[in-house]
Structure formats: C-alpha cells, structure tokens
Amino acid sequence: MPSTVTATPEALAFLAEIVADHGPVLFHQSGGCCDGSSPMCYPQGEFRVGQSDVKLGEVGGMPVFISGTQYEAWKHTDLIIDVVPGRGGQFSLDNGRERRFLTRSTVCAPAPGSALVSEAPT
C-alpha cells in the first residue's frame, strides 16, 4: 500500500496563515540528518522539485513532495503533518513563528487479501 499524506486541523490552520502571508506554498519532506521529521514549507515557484522527487499528495490544497530515495524508506507509512511549538527550518516559511510543522508517521497496513503495490504515487 503506498504512502498517504494528511494534516491535522491545527496544521491546516497554521498552513492557512502562511498561505495568507506568502501565497501558494509546497511542502518537501526533509531528508536531512537532523530534521528528518520536518516538512519544509516553501513558496511555490521558489523551490525546484527534483526529477526523482515523488508527489505524495496535497494538504490544504498544497502539494507535498518527498525525495525518491526517502520515499523508498517511507513508502509503507502514512504521513501526518502536524504543528508543534518550536522553530521551523532555516529556509522554511514556518521559521520565526514559534510553531513549526512536524511529520508523524504510522505504518500502512494492507487490506486483508490485497497485494502490496510497488509503484510510487504520481
């Protein structure tokens, strides 16, 4: 079962604040050594999505991407974007707001009798 992405009501409200200030944004799930659970939030058009990046879906109408290699490690998880107290990544639009986005995950369980799908979502 391929990964899905959703957001908590608190994260959607925080996202709406950021979109009101900056216009349309996108998320890119960080793969860094220190912030692997931090989805980075960038203005659309100011972050170049790579050829190997995978679009997981959308939250609040905004696209969510992850690197292809990180997708391979996380493809059997459901990702939930939440908001917690703290500072966002240096270049992420949640920085300086005393709150930041955080990705939580749970393992996807295949439906009984279903085969696992090995293709990435588009």
* pLDDT tens, the chain, 122 aa long: 466 899 999 999 999 999 999 999 999 997 765 555 789 999 999 999 999 999 999 999 999 999 999 898 888 889 999 999 988 888 899 998 999 999 998 876 655 555 544 444 55
Predicted confidence at residue 68, as pLDDT, reads 92
Predicted confidence at residue 2, as pLDDT, reads 60
Q: Where are the beta strands (DSSP E) in the chain?
A: 4-7, 25-29, 39-43, 54-59, 62-66, 77-85, 99-107
Cα gap 122→119, rounded to integer Å: 9
Cα gap 59→81, rounded to integer Å: 8
Within its chain, how far is the Cα of 22 from the centroid? 18
Predicted confidence at residue 105, as pLDDT, reads 86
pTM: 0.81
Tell me which CATH code domain 4-107 carries.
Answer: 2.60.300
| 72: three-class secondary structure by DSSP | helix
Position 26: which residue type? L
Predicted confidence at residue 118, as pLDDT, reads 45
Cα gap 83→11, rounded to integer Å: 5
| 114: three-class secondary structure by DSSP | coil
End-to-end C-alpha distance for the chain, whole angstroms: 14
Per the CB < 8 A criterion, the answer to whether 58 and 6 are in contact is: no
